[in-house]
Amino acid sequence: MAQEDSFLYALSSNNAWAGYKAHQNPNFFPKLASGQTPQILWLGCSDSRCPETTILGLQPGDVFTHRNVANIVSPTDINTAAVVEYAVANLRVRHVVLCGHTGCGGCIASLPSDGSDSNTRVGGVLGTWLTPLRALRAAHGEELDGIKDASIRAARLAELNVEAGVRVLMAMGCVQDAVQEGRLEVHGCLFDIASGRIRDLGFGTTKGYVRRAVGAGTGGEEVRGRHAQLVFRGGSASMAVR
């Protein structure tokens, strides 16, 4: 398919998808048009390989979504804060999921590429946006430098980024109130692109499962702790511990 035809192909694919869904369930789109009652708020990366509804096996209307480069949750970002507040206070979602992923370009760009102590040079607005990742890299330099495999090192930084983001989420007033009322759970997860699996890292309100998932699905170093797959069914989430 020629590059210039990609948008026309997407429109044609959408037309086929809409026709199939309407044929499969005539009430699908009328129900969707009547309003939304998602149970999950997904905070993820803009990476094209991480489409939340697809990888969760869910449908339009099931997931309220906010994505940005490297799924960074900053306390000064009113865009993210507005999404979280609306989802928690107005839509009253049951789960907030902050999900990083392996092979994250933002994490890779925030790590040294030549074995030195300097970060890969990224300029402009993107460089400013990735500052929290570079700060995490500096704070955990000894641990990260000890990981020789570049892909595993980037995955570890992705985990640290999720952990830092969950701390910001748990400090938000609307999240604290909802958690205290017992109507909200916060999950920090990592999506392994190589396997298509999501793992709960044990941050947020889900404690004691997997502290780190470095190397999972990559043939890398041994992972400490138990593995857990996060499974959503209806209004609840369950853990399949392996």
Residues designated catalytic: 45, 47, 49, 101, 104
Calculate the CA 217 to chain-centre distance: 18
**236-241: strand order across its sheet:** 63-68, 40-45, 95-101, 185-192, 197-204, 228-233, 236-241
- Sort strands 40-45 and 63-68 into parallel, antiparallel or unpaired: parallel
Q: Which residues are annotated as a binding site for Zn(2+)?
A: 45, 47, 101, 104
Nearest of 180, 140, 145 to residue 160 by alpha carbon = 140
Amino acid 120 reads T
Q: Which residues are annotated as a binding site?
A: 45, 47, 101, 104
Terminal Cα distance for the chain, rounded: 41
